[in-house]
Amino acid sequence: MEMAASAALKLRLPGELRRLEEFGRRAKIGARRVHMLSDLTKWDPAAQVAAIATRGDRAAFVALFGFYAPRIKGFLMRSGTAADVAEEIAQEAMLAVWRKAATFDPARAGVSTWIYTIARNLRIDRLRHERGVSADALHDALDSDEPQRPDDIVQGAERDERVRAAMKDLSAEQREVVRLSFFEDKPHAEIAETLGIPLGTVKSRLRLAMARLRQRLDELS
Amino acid sequence: MTIAHHPSDITLAGFAAGQLGEARELVVATHLAVCPACRAAARAFECLGGVGLETESTVAVAPDALERALAAIDQVPGVAPIVVPDDHSGFPAPLRHYKLGAWRKIGRALEWRPVAVPASGGVRVFMLRAKPGTRIPSHAHAGIEWTCVLQGAFRHQQGRFGAGDFDEADETVDHDPVVEDGEICVCLVAMQGQIRLKGLIGRLLQPLVRI
């Protein structure tokens, strides 16, 4: 039964969630609150990851797979990965989600960010043809154990949400540059060419956008 | 360790997005290993990737993808922990994954050793070691020159750079660093192209500097 519920959620969620968030914005209710109040709050990816970690919950895996596998494939193809390789990496990334579920730390990141870093590292390793040191090892410098404060528990998801909100605060021009640079992985020179603006303008827009983002996140701590 | 100079936000975001290539990534990771503030910032920029993943367009996976995954999860082995090699003791963890070449002299007071990073985008990594008081000849860059100080300190037009500091120079920067008195200065450098030495001493040294 749990399996069926998850599968149903899988089909309904993405659109539903967006509509709910939109409703929440108009009603000036935070997206988190909307998720909490809605009937669809069972879509709690952090709980799904925990279910995998604690009891190898396959239904939870099915739900996460339905939501994230097509997103990982989309992310990889946007950044220039061939469809068949993107399919393979999406598969590997989801297996890594299963395997590493116990290492997921909700204080450190939201589930989307965590899964993003898994896919990113697999992509880096592919690009380097496994010749270099694994991306896990280099990016693990971030994992060192800073002391956690009690209120850190909500921080991962909260942080993701701040970034989402901050993205909406950016000017359309800044948002476009951030999208091209970080969501589509375009080099600065190519962005300048695509948009028909000087390279310096690309950099200054990115700098302003990053500063804005950091400011939003610093309000958290 | 008081760190005064950090990578730019764009660099930290590029690191979080996996865009830097291994050579630059190593120098940034070495700084992150000793700088909690930049670790937090890089983490924050990872959220940008998470948000992109969640909100941008999706591409349908193969019809049997889920089935294959479900068949595979029964067989996946546990996670092997990352073992940080313990040689070159004293260096930050990211650096310990790489082979270091032998020290070679450049002139009297300066030495360098290659760090075995596969060349990425024409950027190479090496360590520089200089005696206290050494004046590095004034030089310009053909591309980026990112430096993370591992030990000791130097000064140039942009200020004082001590252990942990990150100096992000590129082709727009000319500088002539001087190593501070006291301690031997050791730096990790990612460099694109050759440096161009200036002045008479520089021109005399140039043939020797094939790093």
With 70 as the cut, is the pLDDT of residue A143 above it? no
- Is the CB of residue B69 less than 8 Å from the CB of residue A91? yes
pLDDT at B59: 95
With 90 as the cut, is the pLDDT of residue A10 above it? no
Å between B209 CA and nearest CA of chain A: 26
pLDDT at A168: 87
Strand bridging mode B174-175 / B139-141: antiparallel
Closest CB from A90, A132, A160 relative to B61? A90
Closest CB from B25, B69, B118 relative to A65? B69
Which residues of A fall within a CB distance of 8 Å from B29? 138-139, 141
Please state, in angstroms and rounded to a whole number, the distance separating the CA atoms of residues A179 and A123.
Answer: 19
Instruction: Name the band, by pLDDT with cuts 50, 70 and 90, for residue A144.
Output: low
User: In angstroms, what CA-CA distances link B49 with A213, B40, B55, B117?
Assistant: 13, 15, 10, 26
Is there a contact between B59 and A83 if contact means CB atoms under 8 Å apart? yes
Which residues of A fall within a CB distance of 8 Å from B79? 99-100, 103
- Is the CB of residue A118 less than 8 Å from the CB of residue A97? yes
pLDDT at A36: 46
For B128, residues 6+ apart whose C-beta sits below 8 A from its C-beta are: B110, B111, B112, B185, B186, B187, B189
pLDDT at A12: 45
Which residues of A fall within a CB distance of 8 Å from B55? 164
Is there a contact between A74 and B59 if contact means CB atoms under 8 Å apart? yes
Å between B178 CA and nearest CA of chain A: 30
Closest CB from B8, B26, B72 relative to A138? B26
Instruction: Name the band, by pLDDT with cuts 50, 70 and 90, for residue A38.
Output: very low
Å between B106 CA and nearest CA of chain A: 28
Instruction: Name the band, by pLDDT with cuts 50, 70 and 90, for residue A39.
Output: very low
Which residues of A fall within a CB distance of 8 Å from B98? 133
pLDDT < 70 regions, chain B: 1, 76-89, 195-211
Is there a contact between B45 and A134 if contact means CB atoms under 8 Å apart? no
Å between B148 CA and nearest CA of chain A: 15
Is there a contact between B46 and A183 if contact means CB atoms under 8 Å apart? no
- Most trustworthy range by pLDDT among A154-163, A196-205, B99-108: A196-205
What residue type is B58 in one-letter code?
Answer: T
Q: How many Å separate Cα B183 from the centre of its chain?
A: 22
Instruction: Name the band, by pLDDT with cuts 50, 70 and 90, for residue A40.
Output: very low
Pick A130 or A126 by higher pLDDT.
A126
Token code pair at residue B111: 């030495």
Å between A13 CA and nearest CA of chain B: 12
Q: ipTM of this predicted complex?
A: 0.87
pTM to 2 decimals? Answer: 0.84
Phi, psi torsion values for A134, nearest 5 degrees: -60, 145
Instruction: Name the band, by pLDDT with cuts 50, 70 and 90, for residue A173.
Output: very high
Is there a contact between A167 and B51 if contact means CB atoms under 8 Å apart? yes
> Region A130-140: what's the mean pLDDT?
75
Mean pLDDT of all residues belonging to chain A: 80
pLDDT at B77: 65
Closest CB from A78, A90, A140 relative to B82? A140
Pick B210 or A83 by higher pLDDT.
A83
pLDDT at A146: 56
Is there a contact between A136 and B82 if contact means CB atoms under 8 Å apart? yes
pLDDT at A3: 42
pLDDT at B176: 82
Å between A95 CA and nearest CA of chain B: 6
Is there a contact between B18 and A71 if contact means CB atoms under 8 Å apart? no
Which residues of A fall within a CB distance of 8 Å from B60? 70, 73
DSSP per-residue codes, B114-133:
EB----BTTEEEEEEEE-TT
Residues A62-80 pLDDT 10s: 999 999 999 999 999 998 8
Which residues of A fall within a CB distance of 8 Å from B46? 109, 113, 116-117, 142
Q: Is B2 helix (H, G, I), strand (E, B) or coil?
A: coil
Which residues of B fall within a CB distance of 8 Å from A103? 79
Please state, in angstroms and rounded to a whole number, the distance separating the CA atoms of residues B162 and B2.
Answer: 8
